[in-house]
Homo-oligomer: A and B are copies of this chain.
């Protein structure tokens, strides 16, 4: 019975980091272990996220200060996985045996929260990240805490753009040329609250399923992987 909070982005435009995240409600008194590996500067990142959690009244320490990070992750009652570069996040967790540790904690009831790269990490693979592959992970398999992919920071093409790179929707269509898994294009400001089999969207998303037209959805229950309701 996994409890997950998955955000598109850490910081809304013009706002403080995580001010749009219901941290106190989601973590309910648990002490949160922060995973800063998506950025290079772990200490600086832990300070900034610590301030955001303090504003929400939630206790947080960072796994980069632990002598045995994998053991600390496996024993955590709650984790927050920060945004940044998804390839670096995954490669670092692979190196410290952190993936299995987080999976163990979540299976034992730990609450898992994340934003952007941290949301990608909860998916079956990182194949729908927007990030640059600046480091080479041992593979693209991620935690698989949900049975769909999220594309974070989802956005529409800009009207009148002359840029010839692929649009986000075109990239997800290419994903579905090679993969079956549904993709939730989670717009900025949006979040998914997962509780066991139940997935609830706050905000707006565009759901992509192979062989069908994408569907724009708003607040409410979301089941991108099942038959249409």
A-to-B contact residues, CB < 8 Å: 9-14, 40, 84-85, 88, 125-136, 139-140, 152-153, 155, 158, 162-166, 171-172, 174-175, 177-179, 188
Q: Which residues of B contact A131 (CB under 8 A)?
A: 166, 171
Q: Which residues of B contact A10 (CB under 8 A)?
A: 164
When A158-B158, A163-B153 are in contact, do A140 and B133 touch as well, CB less than 8 Å?
yes
Smallest CB gap from A125: residue in B: B136
Smallest CB gap from A176: residue in B: B134
Inter-chain CA distance A155–B161, complex, in Å, is 12
Q: Is the interface of A mostly helix, strand, loop or mixed?
A: loop
Task: Please state if B162 and A132 are interface contacts (CB–CB under 8 Å).
Answer: no
Inter-chain CA distance A132–B183, complex, in Å, is 13
Further pairs besides A85-B174, A128-B132: 6, Cβ < 8 Å: A88-B174, A127-B133, A132-B171, A133-B133, A134-B177, A163-B188
Smallest CB gap from A84: residue in B: B174
Inter-chain CA distance A172–B85, complex, in Å, is 11
A220 to chain B, nearest CB (A): 24
Task: Please state if B136 and A179 are interface contacts (CB–CB under 8 Å).
Answer: no
Inter-chain CA distance A158–B164, complex, in Å, is 15
